[in-house]
Chains A and B, each alone.
Chain A
Amino acid sequence: MKSAVIVFPGSNCDRDVAVSLEQTTGRPPVMHWHADPALPEDLDLVVVPGGFSYGDYLRCGAMAAHAAAMTGVRKAAERGVAVLGICNGFQVLCETGLLPGALMRNRDLRFLCKDVHLRVETTDTLFTGHYAPGQVIRIPIAHHDGNYVADLATQCALEDEDRVVFRYCDPAGKVTEDANPNGSLDNIAGILSEERTVLGLMPHPERLADPRLGGTDGRPLFASLLEALS
């Protein structure tokens, strides 16, 4: 599997996800600089990492959506290359229109860094084949703007087309208001594009993919990609 990680000025989880990719696939990703519109050839996966692209002094991801590299990402996505956006990457993908909806400021208006529980809503994806349907996993979030919103038509399409991949839930798997850390619509933590090849999620699977860090629930996501794309 050949992957690339986009590096914007202000990306700060680029190395973290590169470590996870290398640990899972045995092959380090290409670190692709934001100013270069031409992505490497023969890519199987593009990762838009977490961080604060361009400082995110405007709406999160708004500047990065106009970076030269995103032209390449959009073209790759059109060709069917898998795209994974984590945290800031999810925000960027929404800003570029590769994913529907938007991420607003957290309900409590504070940055929040903690482990949350997610229910795997579908395993019919390139990204979640190694999870069980309905499986509850523990993954950290770290964001100020993770409150997912979408209009009614989008909300219905996401539901009808089985495109909600992860929902915030309690440890027992119940999707409750208390388990929703940021006020997201229907506890949505991650969604797919219509073609099911683009995934955006606010939680950071790369942060719990190593037993030394206290958990490995993020690892199957990378393992799923490896199997689906190799």
Chain B
Amino acid sequence: MTTITPNIIAEHGLTAEEYQRVLDILGRAPNLTELGIFSVMWSEHCSYKSSKKWLKTLPTSAPWVIQGPGENAGVIDIGDDLTAVFKMESHNHPSFIEPYQGAATGVGGILRDVFTMGARPVANLNALRFGAPDHPKTRHLISGVVAGIGGYGNCVGVPTVGGEVNFHPDYNGNILVNAMTVGIAPADRIFYSKASGVGNPVVYVGSKTGRDGIHGATMASAEFNADSEEKRPTVQVGDPFTEKLLIEACLELMATDVIVAIQDMGAAGLTSSSFEMASKGGLGVELTLDRVPMREEGMTPYELMLSESQERMLMVLEPGKEPVAEAIFRKWGLDFAVIGHLTDTGRMVLTWNGETVADLPIDPLAEAAPEYDRPWEPTPPAPVVDAADVPEVPWTEALPALMGSPDLASRRWIWEQYDHMVMGDTVQRPGGDAAVVRIHGSERGLAMTTDCTPRYVRADPVMGGRQAVAEAWRNLTAAGARPLAVTDNMNFGNPEKPLIMGQFVGACQGLAEACRALDFPVVSGNVSLYNETEGRAIPPTPTIGGVGVIDDLDRMATVTFKAPGEAIVVIGERPDTRESGWLGQSLYLRELCGREEGAPPPVDLEHERHVGDVVRGLIQAGRVSACHDVSDGGLLVAVAEMALAGDMGAALTLAAPSAAALFGEDQGRYVVTVPAEGVTGLLAELGTLARHIGDTGGTGPDAAITLGGAEVALSDLRAAHEGWLPGVMGA
């Protein structure tokens, strides 16, 4: 038997203090298998040891929340006896090392989290962050990640309908791949992971177990260095075909009454799934590891417990119902094995060749998981940028430059590689504010979006955290949806550094404030820390995935200009910012003046809520023909995006078109179009909240945006907007 040396302990990512705690719990030295189990259960990835204290401060309840954080995914009531089940999860480290498989298995993992709960997945989204476009690795990473997401999602037949992409040099060594799945389940058929019933069989289904991904969770809990490339063997390999079969087999089985509890095998595989199920049920579990379906010969208990082979599930069944389940899994050509049973001992006992190879107390191990109150420092406030100190670039130059800049250019090259229409319910395809998927067989829809503006969060974590939530809420609102809840994916650097921990704490505060003010609770999430390379951290990126409901698809809004001669109205401006917008941290400042600086735009949550409720009311009443929120790039970029979507020009009549007024990124604003007959009434009703800034018009080759006697042809804007990404990718 292997002797546990300080070296082995360090290789398993445990500190001396944490190892002492292992000794205290066991009253003896662990063997290697046991040490491996402690190591993954107490890794940052599985234990949330640095983040737990702050995650607890997020609001997680509302009358429509059925299941908040702590399960495989969050569950909300969407009416008609249906629920939406959703979560977002990161697969950052694996995607950097092996972009195709890293991204693909990220999609596979989040799909499993959702169908484990009884939901049929109906949509995937993804939030991606890459390094500088001209960094030598960026192209390779984009093409691999996009192909991996597509390769997995297209094959399983779940449409990939939305997401976002940012580029920044500080992601050069740590890209972010955050994948979100939304599913729909009947309200009376939600499945949970809490085991019950001493003696009930514990069943393994899905793919066989191989040696892939051993110690993936530990890898995801450490900084990168020059050796990280050597960790490639710890990246798992995805098999979307098996996942598709697993979805169909699980949903078929879930229609019967034989499942007591179910949990997918994600990070830390069999260890984490069996531990969590037993721990939640206050029970013990005994597993005969010889019965685990294995892909190769000569595997050890250590490897079986730590493997992160994909497309596997663990279930507890009603006693005697094994044949029902087995028949379904065999029909779908999947492995099925009864590998153990529940006990009342509160211990996890593993046997191999008739010998006990691990015997661990479950509750002490789970409860004694380290929880740190890490020291943190707030981010020093950034000075407010005075618009008077910012050079004025003529809008005719600035607008095409912005529309073809990395963070604003069209993502068509990416989403055309994703099947975004399979399942036949995609009513708003990628490219708008929110994606909308019809609830199958009805005239209602689910709207969804992912949002975060990392440059704001870095400048002011609290305000940036608020903004991420507010923008998600705004994007759902702009489609006419009632925003209901969010999932959060917290991507940060090394939490052992007080300034990084301070970013996390600040972002949580901002998230919590916004979620409360907007009645938009957090129902699921994921934390990814240690996103640093050679000591350099990523911009703090708390990605928010929002979900809302559209009660009548006839009253859904899109960003597209619909008809010429309609009024273009901006709603939500504060009268004092009309002529001097907020340029700090704006894309205008970064892309045209080369300055990434200043305080980000403030988010006034009361104003945000009021304006959003007004806009949603107008959409639901059928009084506006198009709607788009104002975000990155400011007012003129929003108008240009609507014009491009509708292939129709705009004649703007803004009085003082300064760069700050056109490109300032003041929050809480929407651009809508209003048919001529409704304009006067709408403006009178909204008073200073609304301003008529021009009219739609002009189609065909001469279509243009005109303002102050100058014009920019839509064809030029389109060339800049559509040309950038294919240009970078050389296709």
Interface residues of chain A, those whose CB is within 8 Å of chain B, are 9-10, 12-13, 15-16, 19-20, 50-52, 54-57, 108, 110-114, 140, 142, 144, 204, 206-207, 210, 212-214
Contacts and interface: CB of A to CB of B under 8 A. Distances in A.
B416 interface: yes
B427 A212 contact: yes
A112 B241 contact: no
Nearest to B239: A55
Given A10-B241, A52-B154, A111-B150, A210 B424 contact: yes
Interface bin, chain B: 20 to 34
Given A9-B241, A10-B244, A55 B422 contact: no
B421 A207 contact: yes
Given A13-B422, A142-B419, A207-B421, A111 B244 contact: no
B417 A55 contact: no
Contacts of B429: 214
A207 B332 contact: no
Interface in B404-420: 415-420
Contact of A15 (B150, B423, B553): B423
Interface of B: 147, 150-151, 154-157, 239-242, 244-245, 332-333, 415-427, 429, 438, 443, 553, 731
Given A112-B417, A212-B553, A9 B424 contact: no
Contact of A9 (B151, B332, B416, B425): B332
Given A113-B417, A207-B421, A9 B156 contact: no
**Shortest 8 CB-CB contacts between residues of A and residues of B:** A12-B157, A55-B241, A16-B424, A52-B155, A142-B419, A113-B419, A111-B417, A207-B421
Contacts of B421: 113, 140, 142, 204, 207, 213
13 contacts: A9-B332, A10-B245, A13-B422, A16-B423, A56-B241, A111-B151, A111-B154, A111-B419, A112-B417, A140-B421, A212-B427, A213-B421, A213-B427
Most chain-B CB neighbours within 10 Å: which of A12, A112, A213, A214?
A12
Contacts, number: 86
Contacts of A19: 424
Contacts of A140: 421
Most chain-A CB neighbours within 10 Å: which of B150, B157, B415, B438?
B157
A171 B156 CA distance: 32
Most chain-A CB neighbours within 10 Å: which of B241, B332, B423, B553?
B241
A13 B157 contact: yes
A20 B424 CA distance: 9
A142 B415 CA distance: 11
Given A110-B731, A112-B417, 6 more contacts: A50-B422, A52-B157, A57-B241, A110-B416, A111-B154, A113-B416
Most chain-B CB neighbours within 10 Å: which of A54, A55, A108, A112?
A55
A206 B426 CA distance: 13
Given A15-B423, A212-B438, A113 B418 contact: yes
Given A111-B419, A112-B416, A113-B417, A12 B239 contact: no
A9 B147 contact: no
A113 B239 contact: no
B438 A113 contact: no
